[in-house]
Each structure stands twice: as structure tokens, then as C-alpha cells.
Copies of this chain bind each other. A is one copy, B any other.
Amino acid sequence: MSIYFGNHFSREAFQFDSVGNHWTQELVTRPEGFPMYHYLQTESGSGCVSVKGKTILLEQGQGILFAPFVPHSYRAWEGRWITEFATFTGSMEPYLKTMIGTDDYLLIGEEKGAEIERVIAGAVKLFETTPGNTRQLSMDCYHLLLLFSEGIPHSAAAQPAWDKYVRPVVEQIESNYMEDLSAEQLAKSVYVSPQYLSRLFVRYVGCSVYEYLTNYRINQAKKLLMKRDRKIQEIAHDVGYTDASHFIVMFRKLTGMTPVEFRRLHI
């Protein structure tokens, strides 16, 4: 049963206000909520959480992140309920909503839960052995916040839909971006509709097929722009645009500047 509290005087962007594990959880009622982001996860047994009129069962490896000042209560459900938890502060605490979103709470499943359990155990160990290592603690803190901020499942590679549809298309884009590719052709090559493929891309990659292709082309163009001797028209062609002005429009859309401005800024 470990609990550690962060240093009130340190000023990392993100830091633990508290972190702990192997905690025997009893009834907690917070009619006004907790004053900062608070994460709670079941290590063993199970617990029952009431929040915003919903009742949620937290089984082993499942967790919940409460946003600040969201009223809630929780209690053991079956047998002893052992939990781990973390609360978050730091100089950038006021901006956490930008990162995590505006939901009142966020549910975490077993897959991320396993990773969170490892990070919390590491942080507890750091507090026990080298509490002055605020940098590593702050990195652990950011690691957890990133996990909360991601809608995308972690080990994408372990998902059959990734292997069957997304990966082959990513590979095609990366080896044929200089050709005239379209989202329709790419979808056809893996025997699904363009709409379905784009939904899979949004889920696994975070953007549509067309956006991924455009991003990849523009990034390749940036590399070519770092050499003084290539003309813009040539570069447009090299990254798969038959029309240089279309290339310039897309480049500007993604980077906020024209290819010439980009080159002038960098070399």
C-alpha cells in the first residue's frame, strides 16, 4: 500500500500531485468532485463508480479518469477492492483540457490499463528510490496523460483490420506516393469501399486515407526542398502531383507557407 505526494514547489509542466498503488479502497463520496484530474484503476477485485447518473463497474485492469470538480462516488463491489491511482498537476494544468478533452470522465479498458499499471508502478518505485528525479516522474506523468488523450488503440499492429487493410495501404502509399494514387484505387486494392477504408484510417492512423497520402507527399517534398538545386515544379512531380499549383495549395494548407517560403526559412 503505497502513496506518494509530489513536491509542492517544483514547477514541471506536468507532475503527479499524488500517485499510489496496492490500495485497499473503501467508500469515497465527493459531492463536489476532486479539484484536479484524478485517475483510478482496479488492480484486483472490483469497484462500483457512480458519476453523472451512471453506475460503472470497474473490473481488473479497468480505470476511470475523472475531470476536475465532477461529482462522483465509488465503493468496493465484490470482496476487497484493490486500486491504483494518480492525480495530476503542474504549471500546464490549466491547459489539460486541450489535451484530454472536455468529457466529464473517461473510461479506460484493460489494454491501456496494463500499460498504465506499469507506468504507475514505475513512478511509485521512483518516489521510493530517487524522489528527486522529478524529470522522470514528469515524463511518467506525461506518458499517462498521452494515454488518456488518445482515441486510437495502442498496439494497432495486433489488430486484424490493421493487418488486412490499413498496413497494405500505408505500404503502397510509402512506396508509390510519386505515382498518381487515389483513395478509390487504394481502397479497391484491398477490396473495401473508400468510406470503410477511411473509417479504418481514422481509427488506426488518426486521419483519412487522402489526408495520410497528402501528408506523406508533403513531407517528402519538404525533404527535397532542403536541397537548393531542385525546382518547385520538379519537386511537385517527384511527390506525385501532376499539377504544380495543386501541390503549392496543398503544401500551404498543411504547413501555412508556400514551398518557396519553406525553403527560404530552412536553408
Contact = CB atoms under 8 A, between A and B. Distances in A.
B34 A3 contact: no
Nearest to A167: B132
Given A92-B99, A95-B92, A266-B28, A12 B146 contact: yes
Interface stretch (A136-144, A180-188, A192-200): A136-144
Contacts of A4: 219
Give the bracket for the number of chain A residues in contact with chain B. 35 or more
A207 interface: yes
A30 B265 contact: yes
A248 B4 CA distance: 20
How many copies make up the complex? 2
A207 B9 contact: yes
Given A8-B255, A215-B8, A98 B13 contact: yes
A3 B147 CA distance: 27
A71 interface: no
A163 to B, nearest CB: 13
A222 B5 contact: yes
Interface of A: 3-5, 7-13, 18, 26, 28, 30, 34-35, 91-92, 95, 98-99, 132, 134-135, 138-139, 142-143, 145-147, 149-150, 154, 156, 170, 205-207, 211-212, 215, 218-219, 222-223, 226, 254-257, 265-267
